[in-house]
Amino acid sequence: MPPISLSSLALEGLADVAVGCGVLLAYRWTRRRSPRLAGIFAAGVLLRAVGGVLLFTISLLHWPVLTSLQTGGGFWTLAIDAHWYFNEAAMAVSHGIGTIPGDAPSPAYLRALAAWMTLTGVSPASGVLFNVTCFVAGALIVIAVAGVRTAAAEVALVALSISPALVIFSTQDVKESFCVLAMTIVLGGLWLWCRMFREAQALRPLGVLVAVASMTAGIYVTAGIRAYIGAFIIAAMTPVAAMLVVQSRSARWRALLAQVVILLVLFRAGAGAYYPYYEHIAREAVSWTLSPTSQLDEARAAFVATGGATSIASTKASSPTVSHGLARSGASSEPARSGAPPEPAPLALFKRLVIGSAAIFVPISIARALSLVRFNGGRGLLFVTDIDTIFMDVLILSALYLTFAANPRFWTRPVIVFVLLLVVMTALPMAYVVTNFGTLFRLRLLVAVPLWLLPAFAGAGEKEGLASRQARQERSIEPVAQSIEFRPGNLANK
């Protein structure tokens, strides 16, 4: 590490103060729109800031609190990869952000964290501040899109603010908060793009620029964190583009051209360093040589072989070599009991999807009691994960209710179709592939977050928001009208 000068310390201090002032301004802006939303927003900031500083201090000073979960230096076992991310970003601060290769694990997050620590200082606490900033930016987008005093805004903001999993991972130097922000930016850009078509507006240059830049930047960051999610987002955009062309009754050819151009931009610029990977998948899909089942089996085999303290795979799970042969032989990767024929591939696939889905959406204690999942160990934080699962499910059901109640013909709303397609494309492979619940506990946020945000970006509560804005305008005009004395003769005298 290079020596720390007084000037660099002063700049880091100014950056920290600027971030603090920005958070306060965001709170005041939110409070002017809705005190209730401001309270939820403040809870999200405080939980992350106080929790992150407290956990950092406990681990750094080795306080006798949850000692079995401490790894020292401000880090914890609940996010075991945080130490690696911090070290890599710190090295990039010393040697240059350009030294992070495009094929590194989560290069977009490493570069963003390194750039952030260049401004605010090289410390694990800087990662906590970065996560707080990501939360604030995402919350402001949700509030700006959803409006004020709407159930849609409240559900989305509650989910982002006090989700146990999001709060826990926001206290560590891991990529969840940055990934959530990127997905929120994608939804914001798609919402703006669809809104211009829905309101039969001309494609205004500024609106087009903001919408396309938002979607491209969001996909670029998402692809640089988890490449497969970026591919799923681009794939889910394709039917949405077709829907917008069909719904654009006037100037349909211009709409078709606009959609083709934006898909090409998202595919080329949004993919970033993973463009060759996406292009390879697209070529295989067009030529009908793509074998998703084989690729999923290989990924699952890696999880099964790794095992782990929270493995939900059967203790009699097959070796990777048997699992690799699943697609070729059509047999299950589960070993056959003596004298029993192997299960056919469709039945094995169905069982794995049921078990994986149960691990995602059912409290793990209930799933274990019902023998839906089986653990090899790792029961220390299961109570926390149960609370998080209940929270996740309740907010998902609330979001879906608000969305479908406000949009009975939901299949005609492009944003809703996009989110549902993205969730299905994410949840099914995840349920099939991931056999480690510790990993699944983090990855399932990729399924939950789009559903939590759905009512805010799908127009749920638009009428309520419009009514509240009109009521505020009427209340602001009423005192002015009462202060003006109106006499019928005044006009005649004029």
Q: Which two tokens stand for residue 142?
A: 């949700």
pLDDT surpassing 90 at residue 162: yes
pLDDT score of 436: 87
156: part of which helix (H) or strand (E)? helix 151-162
Task: State mean pLDDT over 424-428.
Answer: 95
pLDDT score of 7: 65
- Cα–Cα distance between 194 and 299 in angstroms, integer? 36
pLDDT score of 490: 47
pLDDT score of 492: 41
pLDDT score of 201: 56
**Phi/psi at 75 (nearest 5 deg)?**
-115, 160
Indicate the range of 66-75, 217-226, 407-416, 450-459 predicted with least confidence. 66-75
Q: Which two tokens stand for residue 339?
A: 């004298």
57: CB partners within 8 A, 6+ apart: 63, 74
161: CB partners within 8 A, 6+ apart: 40, 41, 43, 44, 47, 135, 139
pLDDT band at 327 (very low <50, low <70, confident <90, very high): very low
pLDDT score of 178: 96
Mean pLDDT taken over the chain: 82
CA dihedral 377, 383, 385, 386 (to 10 degrees): 120
pLDDT score of 319: 36
Largest separation between any pair of C-alpha atoms in the chain = 108
- Judge whether 452 and 399 are in contact, CB under 8 Å: yes
Name the percent of the chain lying above pLDDT 70. 81
- Cα–Cα distance between 433 and 304 in angstroms, integer? 9
- Cα–Cα distance between 38 and 296 in angstroms, integer? 43
pLDDT surpassing 90 at residue 47: yes
**Helix crossing, 205-225 with 227-247: angle to 10°?**
150
pLDDT surpassing 60 at residue 57: yes
The CA-atom distances, in angstroms, between 224 and each of 112, 173, 233, 363, 438 are 11, 16, 13, 31, 22
* pLDDT 10s digits, 81-103: 899 999 999 999 988 898 998 88
| Share in percent of the chain as helix, strand, coil (round to 5) | 75, 0, 20
For the chain, the domains span 6-290+461-470, 303-460
Stronger pLDDT, 63 or 478, i.e. the higher one: 63
pLDDT surpassing 90 at residue 15: no
Task: State mean pLDDT over 414-426.
Answer: 96
Whole-model pTM? 0.84
E runs forming strands in 58-177? 70-72, 75-76
- Cα–Cα distance between 99 and 111 in angstroms, integer? 9
* pLDDT 10s digits, 223-244: 999 989 999 999 999 999 998 8
pLDDT surpassing 70 at residue 323: no
According to the 3-state scheme, what is the secondary structure of 84-100? HHHHHHHHHHHHCHHHC
pLDDT surpassing 90 at residue 390: yes
User: What single letter denotes the amino acid at residue 428?
Assistant: L
* pLDDT 10s digits, 352-383: 899 999 999 999 888 888 887 777 665 567 88
- Judge whether 274 and 407 are in contact, CB under 8 Å: no
pLDDT score of 148: 67
- Cα–Cα distance between 263 and 249 in angstroms, integer? 20
- Cα–Cα distance between 77 and 88 in angstroms, integer? 18
pLDDT band at 4 (very low <50, low <70, confident <90, very high): low
Only one residue has tokens 């709060």, namely 167
pLDDT score of 190: 94
Q: What number of other Cβ atoms are within 10 A of residue 59's Cβ? A: 22
The CA-atom distances, in angstroms, between 316 and each of 69, 141, 303, 332, 376 are 29, 47, 14, 13, 11
User: What single letter denotes the amino acid at residue 53?
Assistant: V
pLDDT score of 341: 46
Only one residue has tokens 């699943």, namely 326
pLDDT score of 203: 65
Q: Which two tokens stand for residue 36?
A: 């209730």
Stronger pLDDT, 156 or 15, i.e. the higher one: 156
Name the percent of the chain lying above pLDDT 90. 43
Task: State mean pLDDT over 130-153.
Answer: 90
pLDDT surpassing 70 at residue 336: no
pLDDT surpassing 90 at residue 202: no
* pLDDT 10s digits, 114-133: 999 999 988 888 999 999 99
Stronger pLDDT, 293 or 117, i.e. the higher one: 117
* pLDDT 10s digits, 437-488: 888 999 999 999 999 999 999 876 554 444 444 444 444 444 544 544 444 4
